């Protein structure tokens, strides 16, 4: 999917890849519609938002009607075993409604919002987890080193010593 851009990024290791995007340690490569692709820096992503949609509203509508018929056959005197088939049809329609749900990830950057194409809910969840993992790796690399901790401690002691001298 994102081989053209990833081949240009020589030392990047792919952390996660699916139909929505490819995540490396510092970059997100979005496979947009057609042959265009977008490259986003993980450090620039301020917030992630999951956009969910149901593609086919007929499944829940038919499932609710079938459940109503199931209840009617259960409480009728002359159902003749029609309850179980209608209940199974209702469950199959509800499973179809769940399978037809899709999700997309919207990346909120400093001044704009970039959204991936739509994929399954599982793909969107795994992409968000991979991006959060990469962001945690970046924040760990940006933390101060041991030398930074000692310089902060020295500044704190100097400030505290200055306060005790003033008292």
pLDDT digits (tens, 9 = 90+) for 84-123: 999 999 999 999 888 888 888 899 888 888 888 888 888 8
Same structural domain for residues 31 and 111? yes
Find the radius of gyration of the CA atoms of the chain: 27
Same structural domain for residues 120 and 88? no
C-alpha triplet 164, 165, 167: angle, nearest 5°: 65
Q: Is the pLDDT of residue 80 over 90?
A: no
Handedness of CA 68, 73, 74, 77 (dihedral sign): positive
In a domain, 164, yes or no: no
pLDDT digits (tens, 9 = 90+) for 13-57: 888 888 888 888 888 888 765 566 778 888 888 888 888 887 778
Helices and strands of the chain, counted as H and E runs: 5, 7
Same structural domain for residues 88 and 29? no
Q: Is the pLDDT of residue 167 over 60?
A: no
User: Domain range holding 45?
Assistant: 3-54+100-138
Same structural domain for residues 36 and 104? yes
Same structural domain for residues 27 and 108? yes
DSSP string, 112-131: -EEEPPPB-HHHHHHHHHHH
Same structural domain for residues 25 and 42? yes
**Nearest alpha-carbon partner for 17 in 33, 3, 7, 4:** 3
* Alpha helical stretches, state H, 19-145: 58-75, 83-99, 121-142
In a domain, 75, yes or no: yes
Same structural domain for residues 95 and 115? no
Same structural domain for residues 43 and 62? no
Model's pTM, two decimal places? 0.64
132 vs 31, residue with greater confidence: 132
Same structural domain for residues 67 and 95? yes
Same structural domain for residues 20 and 88? no
- Size of the chain, expressed as the number of residues it contains: 167
CB atoms inside a 10 Å sphere around CB 5? 18
């Amino acid at each position: 999917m994102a081989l053209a851009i990833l081949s240009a990024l020589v030392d990047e290791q792919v952390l996660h890849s699916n139909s929505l995007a490819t995540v490396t340690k510092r970059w997100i490569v979005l496979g947009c519609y057609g042959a265009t692709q977008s490259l986003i820096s993980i450090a620039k992503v301020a917030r992630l938002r999951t956009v969910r949609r149901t593609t086919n509203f007929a499944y829940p509508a038919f499932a609710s009607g079938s459940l109503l018929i199931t209840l009617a056959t259960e409480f009728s005197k002359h159902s003749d075993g029609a309850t179980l088939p209608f209940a199974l049809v209702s469950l199959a329609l509800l499973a179809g409604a769940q399978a037809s749900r899709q999700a997309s990830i919207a990346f909120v950057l400093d001044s704009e919002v970039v959204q991936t194409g739509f994929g399954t809910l599982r793909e969107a969840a795994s992409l968000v987890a991979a991006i959060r993992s990469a962001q945690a790796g970046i924040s760990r690399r940006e933390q101060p080193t041991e030398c930074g901790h000692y310089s902060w401690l020295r500044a704190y002691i100097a400030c505290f010593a200055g306060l005790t001298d003033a008292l």
